[in-house]
């Protein structure tokens, strides 16, 4: 059947990737799976598993949506544990609410989702690491990094990307399929 797990997202630029790599220094010895810098992205809309023959319809819709939305900036402000500091599953980079990002997400949902949610806000998030819960909980408090951590990153968004999510090569990988310029 060869289904592909695909989503629309925004790749972080090289400058932001390097800045986040510096922020994550020292995490290599902690019980977590750290995201590779080149895979850091904001997920806007997930299609889930689709058949390859559905890709042209998705590409056409994405081109139309992106042509109607102007380039914009996303601002990130914090690295924190998620979903709960007392029972974390991941470490995320989170940003400020973005009306343009919400507009983009809602446009994809309107075009491609059977059930539409009434999204009134959308904060960009980037998954920096997935925590290995049992080993993390066994760490003495002094060995865990302190969260939340303040950070200031502004990412200019002039295009979005259709990605395939795979588990090939020994871990999660996010392979760009096609890029669509905004406005």
The candidate with the shortest Cα–Cα distance to 131, out of 35, 36, 41, 46, is 35
| pLDDT over threshold 70, residue 35 | yes
Report domain extents, the chain: 4-181
- The top-level CATH class assigned to 4-181 is alpha beta
| pLDDT over threshold 70, residue 118 | no
Q: What is the pLDDT of residue 113?
A: 81
Average pLDDT over residues 161-172: 85
Q: What is the pLDDT of residue 116?
A: 61
Q: What is the pLDDT of residue 133?
A: 92
pLDDT digits (tens, 9 = 90+) for 47-87: 999 999 999 999 999 999 999 999 999 999 999 999 998 88
Average pLDDT over residues 83-95: 94
């Amino acid at each position: 059947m060869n289904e592909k797990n695909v989503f629309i997202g925004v790749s972080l630029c090289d400058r932001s990737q390097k800045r986040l790599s510096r922020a994550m220094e020292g995490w290599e010895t902690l019980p977590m799976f750290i995201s590779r810098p080149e895979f850091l992205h904001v997920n806007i809309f997930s299609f889930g598993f689709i058949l390859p023959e559905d890709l042209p319809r998705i590409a056409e819709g994405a081109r139309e949506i992106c042509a109607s939305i102007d380039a914009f900036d996303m601002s990130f402000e914090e690295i924190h544990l998620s979903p709960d500091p007392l029972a974390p599953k991941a470490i995320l980079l989170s940003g400020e609410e973005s009306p343009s990002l919400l507009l983009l997400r809602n446009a994809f949902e309107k075009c491609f989702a059977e059930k539409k949610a009434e999204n009134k806000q959308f904060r960009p998030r980037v998954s920096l690491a997935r925590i290995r819960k049992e080993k993390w909980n066994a760490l003495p408090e002094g060995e865990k990094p302190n969260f939340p951590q303040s950070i200031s990153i502004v990412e200019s968004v002039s295009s979005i990307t259709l990605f395939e999510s795979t588990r090939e090569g020994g871990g999660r990988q996010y392979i760009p399929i096609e890029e669509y310029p905004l406005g």
